[in-house]
């Protein structure tokens, strides 16, 4: 029947349109749902943001550790160098003080021998070149006796502070010498050298106004 067939065809078309709309709507929603699940599901646990109440420890600063190691090594090297230099200076200072003490003892013994008029003993503290000349000992004794007769014997002597000079194996210092016949003291500079036997010997002496003399030069005693 034509009327019924038309209604059936119209119903069939409407049904197909409604089904197509349903499929389209259901497909779009399903795609969005699957996309959300897929985007959430593919994230690894390590990529999840940490909870707000959990403290996350920062990565240790490796570069800073290496920097501190280098600073510590540099400090140790500097301390080692300073310690070595300090030890070296202390050793040299100790050696210098020891040499100065030995030389000062020899100089003091020489002046003490002159004070007791033990000229032979005083001569034993002399060294080259003062002892190289023929008859050096007799010449020295005669000179010392002449000074004692002219200026008086040595009654006192003291080392002048700040006059000691040490260079290599040479030591020199100035003494304030008092003689019994002089109204004032005079200065006598002694120069000593260390010989091969590590003994200090007097190699030169200079008094005020006279070279190679144990007393100051005065016209009355020429």
Model confidence at 41, pLDDT cuts 50, 70, 90, reads very low
Model confidence at 100, pLDDT cuts 50, 70, 90, reads confident
Tokens found for residue 86: 């300090």
pLDDT recorded at residue 149: 94
Q: SS3 for 74?
A: helix
pLDDT recorded at residue 182: 92
pLDDT of residue 200 exceeding 70 = yes
Phi-psi region of 8 (alpha: psi -120 to 50; beta: other; left: phi over 0): alpha
pLDDT of residue 187 exceeding 50 = yes
pLDDT of residue 51 exceeding 70 = no
Q: SS3 for 202?
A: strand
Residue boundaries of the structural domains of the chain? 92-221
**CA 118: distance to chain centroid?**
50
What average pLDDT does range 155-180 have in this prediction? Answer: 96
Contact yes or no for 166/102 (Cβ under 8 A): no
Phi-psi region of 152 (alpha: psi -120 to 50; beta: other; left: phi over 0): left
Q: SS3 for 189?
A: strand
- Model-level pTM? 0.57
pLDDT recorded at residue 138: 97
Taken as a whole, the chain contains a residue count of 222
Backbone angles phi, psi at 62, to 5 degrees: -65, -40
CATH code of the region 92-221: 3.10.450.100
pLDDT of residue 17 exceeding 60 = yes
Q: Which parts of 24-164 are beta strand (E)?
A: 154-159
pLDDT recorded at residue 47: 52
Model confidence at 13, pLDDT cuts 50, 70, 90, reads low
Contact yes or no for 176/158 (Cβ under 8 A): yes
Using CB atoms within 10 A of its CB, is residue 109 exposed (0-12), middle (13-18) or buried (19+)? middle
Model confidence at 46, pLDDT cuts 50, 70, 90, reads low
Tokens found for residue 126: 């002399």
pLDDT of residue 8 exceeding 70 = no
């Amino acid at each position: 029947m034509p009327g019924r067939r038309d209604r059936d065809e119209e119903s069939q078309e409407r049904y197909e349109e409604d089904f197509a709309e349903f499929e389209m709507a259901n497909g779009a929603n399903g795609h969005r749902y699957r996309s959300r699940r897929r985007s959430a599901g593919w994230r690894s646990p390590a990529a999840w943001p940490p909870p707000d109440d959990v403290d996350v420890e920062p990565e240790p600063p490796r570069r800073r550790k290496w920097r501190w190691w280098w600073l510590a090594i540099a400090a140790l090297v500097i301390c080692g160098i300073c310690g070595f230099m300090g030890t070296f200076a202390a050793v040299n200072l100790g050696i210098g003080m020891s040499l100065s003490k030995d030389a000062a003892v020899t100089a003091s013994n020489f002046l003490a021998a002159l004070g007791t008029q033990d000229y032979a003993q005083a001569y034993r503290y002399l060294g080259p070149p003062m002892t190289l000349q023929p008859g050096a000992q007799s010449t020295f004794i005669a000179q010392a006796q002449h000074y004692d007769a002219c200026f008086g014997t040595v009654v006192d002597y003291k080392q002048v502070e700040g006059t000691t000079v040490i260079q290599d194996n040479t030591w020199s210092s100035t003494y304030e010498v008092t003689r019994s016949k002089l109204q004032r003291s005079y200065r006598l500079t002694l120069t000593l050298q260390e010989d091969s036997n590590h003994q200090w010997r007097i190699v030169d002496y200079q008094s005020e106004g006279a070279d190679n003399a144990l007393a100051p030069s005065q016209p009355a005693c020429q």
